[in-house]
Amino acid sequence: MPEIVRSGSCLCGGVQFHVTGEPLRVGLCHCKDCRKTSGSAFHAYAVWPLRAFETTGITSSYGTRSFCPSCGSRVPFAGDDEAEVPIGSLDVAPTEGLVPSYELWIGRRELWLHPLPAARQFEHDRIADDSAEGDEPGAEPQQRSA
């Protein structure tokens, strides 16, 4: 069975990417940094192994967040071994099969939002444990965002 390939881009199309296979994890973050950089109430993202991620086009970065310098859209951030993909940058919506399994910084969640059923709730950054799906040691340096 061929692996699923999901494509995405920034708004202007200058940055294109795709990810192959299923992500390691999918999460929501309500932290201040995610709110500020997205301009939205929270940040929804999925993390793939870097080897599953391919991209073209010029990006700029601020910390662990990347964006298109032409249109300002958030685009995936490529770390040392993982790529964090903003769910909204994917081409197809709704994103079938990408369901957040955890939420971060829930103390900053808007009062009109409710905890996702079955999603682990973290007061602050994620604490990796053995039961988490696909977590690897060393996956934590991007703790500000993922």
First-last CA distance in the chain: 30
Residue among 84, 53, 59 at smallest CA distance from 73:
59
77-78 β-sheet, strand order: 77-78, 82-86, 43-49, 25-29, 102-104, 120-121
Should residue 44 be labelled a site residue for Zn ion when binding is judged by CB under 5 A?
no
The residue (of 4 and 12) whose beta carbon lies closer to Zn ion is 12
Does 46 participate in binding Zn ion (rule CB under 5 A)?
A: no
Asked if 41 touches Zn ion (CB under 5 A), the answer is no
User: Cα–Cα distance between 114 and 33 in angstroms, integer?
Assistant: 20
Question: Does residue 34 belong to the site contacting Zn ion (CB under 5 A)?
Answer: yes
Give how many residues touch Zn ion by CB under 5 A: 9
Contacts with Zn ion, 54-93, as mask; x by CB under 5 A: --------------x-xx----------------------
Interface residues toward Zn ion, by CB under 5 A: 10, 12, 14, 29, 31, 34, 68, 70-71
